[in-house]
Structure 1
Amino acid sequence: MCVKVACVGGGPAGLYLSILLKRQDPAHDVTVYERDPEGSTYGWGVTYWRGLLDRLRELDPGSARAVEEHSVRWRDGVAHVGGLATRHHGDEGFGIGRHRLLAILAARARELGVRLEFEHPVTGANPPAADLVVAADGAGSALRTHHADHFGTEITGGRDHYVWLGTTKVFDAFTFAFVETDHGWIWAYGYGFGPEGSTCVVECAPGTWTGLGLDRADEAEGLGLLEKLFADVLDGHPLSARSSGRASAAWPVFRTLTNRTWSRDNLVLLGDAAHTTHYSIGAGTTLALEDAMALATALRERDTLPDALAHYERERRAALLPVQSAARLSAQWYENLPRYIHLPPEQMFALLGQRHSPLLPHLPPRLYYRIDRAAGRLETLRRVKRRLGPVIARTVQARRLAAGDGRARSGRPDAVPAHRG
């Protein structure tokens, strides 16, 4: 359908869409425009889960193999609360350095014939000439902002402040650390992305942020304070504030972004340009790649561009609803941390895993924990019953048949069939 496509933004969404379009039809003329130099990016590592990897394998096995080879994986989650710790075994998760992921996708795009134009900024006033222009230029999208009235962008700020850091400490599990200070609690999420280190996101309430002086501290002072607060989990490793030369706002609040519509004529929004979800559910990169998958499929299967863009938006909006709900509830769980933090660590960690539940905010935490435990035991019994039920039924039937045959051979008058229909 689309002979010439311009993807504005060289992040995971734009690069993966270009790969999928060239795989669908090598005749497509696809160019990715990225404002920054090649090899420079913000952030440290990204997380994803087994389901995404399976989809990547289906759509482009070559790039999927490279992504998996350069990822670290974990199954455990660890929570440190003050001087106590608890560990849970869970689903398999993956982490990969953002630099590495982008390098893999860029190399694959080039291999397929995509043109990559780095250090090529695009604004709303100078969009590329193409049959389809894809705004994959992030939450601050210049293309979307230029048509803000049309897209109906709404931005809602969260309450807590956060900072995205890196460390040379390689965590062997997805790690949560909660530290109490004289000004309230401060916490960190840490996960490895390779042998070189881990991502470490630190978050706290506004009163804690100002009480600790983090709102006034320069970069070195802030990092030094955080290294002391989280010394037990960092094991002496330093924290770093940037993975590239790009300056970023210090300690922002998370901004949830939505749009009334995702397309305008031949311009369509992709990834963070269309929607954002709170970082605490670790879904940003996955959602961006899934957007690319859905848009590529719609462009292949629909007869006209307007129909394809409308179908893409409907499909992704529906898929995002439960994720956006989970992200909102997750952010609220942390904003109400004092409600849960004084539970025994095992219970607190269990409710941390249940933070997406819409029921949790409305029940006393200890009561919710007891109900959840009881429901878990009941579900375990159901699974056992489903698994063993047919085996038990066959065993009972065999015994009844054997007993019936024995009675018939002995001439006993009470011999009856084992099953009466």
Structure 2
Amino acid sequence: MGAGGAMDVRHVVIVGAGPAGLFAARMVRLLLPAAAVEVFERAGPDEVSGFGVTLSARTLGGIAEADPDTHRRIAAASLPLSGIEIALPSATLRYDGFEVASISRSTLLAILREQAEAVGARVRYRAAVPPGAVPAADVAVFADGAASAHRGARAAGFGTTARAGAARFVWLGTPADLGGRTSFAFVRTPHGPMAAHCYPHADAGGTVVVETDEATWRAAGLAGAETVGATGGATVGATVGEAALVRLGDVFADHLGGAGLVGARSRWGRFTVVANRSWSAGNAVLLGDAAHTAHFTVGSGTKLALEDAMALATALAAHPDRAEAFRAYEEARRGPVTRTQRLAAPSMRWWESYGRRLHLPPEEFGLHFLTRTPAMTYVALRRRCPERLAEAAVLFGGRADRHAAEAPFEHGSIRLPHRVVSEAVPRLVEVPCPEDPDWSELDPPLPKVEDGCAVLVRAQEGREWERWHETVRYAGAVRAGTGRPVAVRVPADWRDGPGLDADGDSWQARVHLALLSGRIDLVAAR
């Protein structure tokens, strides 16, 4: 046993010199200075994949608390971004109140490597550890990414599951001046819809992540030879060539000012959601994307990796037994990781089907985008961008101070003075929201709905509040698939209790936002 009850760690081997592995090396040396720490990376220090990453104020705050010196260096090299811009074929909208810090991945890795080496960790590049070989160390940390070969060699011990999404995406760079905000460009092409997530960083240029559906990807001639990766059969496309970069640069020319796109061994992929029954086996422990992944559209990958590194080092320093330390690390991180994955799942689903919503009015589309995860509530939106919220309400129902349920409704032969109906008027075709919707399927099973009818999507009896977000998102999928009006069931007293000025979202606020964002058309009160 070490000092203060810590485990007597003499040797730690870390496989992978990404953010998780490098920050873990520094944190272990800071908390267990007697331990020898080695990081093995098969690539060279100049073979960085990816272009930029974003970090929230909360993530930076956690780094500052654990390691003020590293925080100072990351903050100094980062570019603060304020606001979100959504560029649609018919309009461009800006939403204030969404602040993050952006930093190029190469700069972040250089800082983390220097910080690890400054406290005595040894980082070895172009030094591969054969998959399946357990390093002879007290602790072997596998931080070799979502396609971890070391985890794959022990998949049964870790209980790995991996499920690939439906959309195609690729990380690219641009020399364009992207301004001081995060932007999302949605474009209709002759082959289908394409979208780009764009953000600058302190170094010249910025990051552009292009995402599209499978049919558009193939119709546009972007599909090349594919190989099967190590994570549950997820496919990875061939390296994006110059011709494809020119073609994509033309698609987003207006948004990029004609500056074009660059690739650095960039490949098309389908995002794979990785989970593990256990994050440790013997002397080996998983870290970062090797342990878990959450869709990149919630900006979580680097955040979770850095937080994992802090938690693992803290657990090793606090527990005398390795198994206890691994258990404490996993217990500390399971909750935050599970919550992030739950938030990321509907965002991933949204990006797989955004083309179905490009016909919506811009203000409605914008709210639909912002509320793609349950984390974005009405109260949060009113705090961040009240003007945009009021504008959407005016366009929806004519007044900013009126609840959306009071707006009149027309669809085909259905004419209603407001959006609240009984379960019999108009005629409703009932569809239960599944207990566990399979969001990996792009299309839910859809009912046949005749003209003059609407669809009632309902949660299990008495669980409307508990399953509200899930039910509303399922209702939105049914609405898009059938083209018919959709209602959701609410309790008879949904108007009672705190109103729209409550600190948290009341029933009134939830219904209001679901209507404004175009996920539902009606509410059915008992």
Tell me if structure 1 keeps the 8 A contact 2:250–2:260. Answer: no
Secondary structure (helix, strand or coil) at the match of 1:196 reads coil
Residue of structure 2 aligned with 1:320, choices 314, 324, 337: 337
What is the aligned partner in structure 2 of residue 382 from structure 1?
Answer: 502
What is the aligned partner in structure 1 of residue 434 from structure 2?
Answer: none
Give the letter for the 2:60 counterpart: L
Tell me if structure 1 keeps the 8 A contact 2:90–2:362. Answer: no
Q: By how many angstroms is 1:381 displaced?
A: 2.6
Task: Measure, in 2, the Cα distance between the counterparts of 1:101 and 1:367.
Answer: 47
Residue of structure 1 aligned with 2:473, choices 361, 383, 387: 361
Tell me if structure 1 keeps the 8 A contact 2:88–2:362. Answer: yes
Secondary structure (helix, strand or coil) at the match of 1:239 reads coil
Query: Residues 139-192 of structure 1: CA distance to partner in whole angstroms, max 9, x if unpaired?
Result: 222221221221221111110111110001132211000001222211000011
Residue of structure 2 aligned with 1:177, choices 160, 177, 185: 185
Q: By how many angstroms is 1:379 displaced?
A: 7.2
Task: Measure, in 2, the Cα distance between the counterparts of 1:191 and 1:380.
Answer: 33
Query: Residues 115-157 of structure 1: CA distance to partner in whole angstroms, max 9, x if unpaired?
Result: 1111110123443321000001112222212212212211111
Q: By how many angstroms is 1:383 displaced?
A: 5.2
Give the letter for the 1:239 counterpart: L
Q: By how many angstroms is 1:316 displaced?
A: 1.4
Deviant stretches of 4+, over 6 Å:
365-368
Residue of structure 2 aligned with 1:80, choices 76, 82, 87: 87
What is the aligned partner in structure 1 of residue 135 from structure 2?
Answer: 128
Task: Measure, in 1, the Cα distance between the counterparts of 2:78 and 2:243.
Answer: 32
Let me know the Cα RMSD of the aligned residues.
2.3
1:231 equivalent to 2:253? Answer yes
TM-score, length basis structure 2? 0.68
Query: Residues 361-380 of structure 1: CA distance to partner in whole angstroms, max 9, x if unpaired?
Result: 13458989xx9xx99xx776
Unpaired segments ≥5 residues, structure 2: 1-6, 225-237, 375-468, 480-484, 505-526
TM-score, length basis structure 1? 0.84
Give the letter for the 1:337 counterpart: Y
Give the letter for the 2:17 counterpart: G
Task: Measure, in 2, the Cα distance between the counterparts of 1:339 and 1:180.
Answer: 11
What is the aligned partner in structure 2 of residue 186 from structure 1?
Answer: 194
Give the letter for the 2:111 counterpart: I
1:240 equivalent to 2:262? Answer yes
Residue of structure 2 aligned with 1:210, choices 218, 223, 232: 218
Task: Measure, in 2, the Cα distance between the counterparts of 1:129 and 1:362.
Answer: 50
What is the aligned partner in structure 2 of residue 308 from structure 1?
Answer: 325
Given the superposition, is the C-alpha separation of residues 68 and 379 from structure 1 closer, same or farther in structure 2, using an over 3 Å criterion? farther
Task: Measure, in 2, the Cα distance between the counterparts of 1:233 and 1:182.
Answer: 18
Give the letter for the 2:95 counterpart: H
Task: Measure, in 2, the Cα distance between the counterparts of 1:47 and 1:225.
Answer: 27
Tell me if structure 2 keeps the 8 A contact 1:190–1:199. Answer: yes
Task: Measure, in 2, the Cα distance between the counterparts of 1:232 and 1:338.
Answer: 19
Task: Measure, in 2, the Cα distance between the counterparts of 1:176 and 1:379.
Answer: 33
Give the letter for the 1:241 counterpart: G
User: In proportion to residue count, which structure has more helix?
Assistant: 1
What is the aligned partner in structure 1 of residue 302 from structure 2?
Answer: 285
Identity of aligned residues (%): 37
The 5 A counterparts of 1:17-416 are 17-171=24-178, 172-216=180-224, 219-242=241-264, 247=265, 250-357=267-374, 358-359=469-470, 360-364=472-476, 381-382=501-502
Task: Measure, in 1, the Cα distance between the counterparts of 2:25 and 2:122.
Answer: 9
Give the letter for the 1:361 counterpart: R
Tell me if structure 2 keeps the 8 A contact 1:163–1:202. Answer: yes
Tell me if structure 2 keeps the 8 A contact 1:33–1:118. Answer: yes
What is the aligned partner in structure 1 of residue 457 from structure 2?
Answer: none
Q: By how many angstroms is 1:40 displaced?
A: 2.3
Query: Residues 95-134 of structure 1: CA distance to partner in whole angstroms, max 9, x if unpaired?
Result: 1011100110111111111111111101234433210000
Tell me if structure 2 keeps the 8 A contact 1:79–1:175. Answer: yes
Q: By how many angstroms is 1:345 displaced?
A: 1.4
Secondary structure (helix, strand or coil) at the match of 1:150 reads helix
Give the letter for the 1:220 counterpart: E
Given the superposition, is the C-alpha separation of residues 228 and 113 from structure 1 closer, same or farther in structure 2, using an over 3 Å criterion? same
Q: By how many angstroms is 1:236 displaced?
A: 1.4
What is the aligned partner in structure 1 of residue 513 from structure 2?
Answer: none
Task: Measure, in 2, the Cα distance between the counterparts of 1:93 and 1:64.
Answer: 15
Secondary structure (helix, strand or coil) at the match of 1:31 reads strand
Tell me if structure 1 keeps the 8 A contact 2:197–2:208. Answer: yes
With 94-103 and 318-327 compared, the bigger mean Cα shift is at: 318-327
Task: Measure, in 2, the Cα distance between the counterparts of 1:354 and 1:144.
Answer: 35
* Residue correspondences, number: 373
Task: Measure, in 1, the Cα distance between the counterparts of 2:47 and 2:243.
Answer: 26
Tell me if structure 2 keeps the 8 A contact 1:37–1:119. Answer: yes
Tell me if structure 1 keeps the 8 A contact 2:245–2:261. Answer: yes
Tell me if structure 2 keeps the 8 A contact 1:170–1:194. Answer: no
Task: Measure, in 2, the Cα distance between the counterparts of 1:264 and 1:338.
Answer: 43
Task: Measure, in 1, the Cα distance between the counterparts of 2:79 and 2:499.
Answer: 31
Q: By how many angstroms is 1:27 displaced?
A: 1.3
Given the superposition, is the C-alpha separation of residues 269 and 237 from structure 1 closer, same or farther in structure 2, using an over 3 Å criterion? same
Give the letter for the 1:38 counterpart: P
Tell me if structure 2 keeps the 8 A contact 1:170–1:195. Answer: no
Task: Measure, in 1, the Cα distance between the counterparts of 2:85 and 2:500.
Answer: 23
Tell me if structure 1 keeps the 8 A contact 2:222–2:244. Answer: yes
Q: By how many angstroms is 1:195 displaced?
A: 3.6
Task: Measure, in 2, the Cα distance between the counterparts of 1:38 and 1:183.
Answer: 39
What is the aligned partner in structure 2 of residue 413 from structure 1?
Answer: none
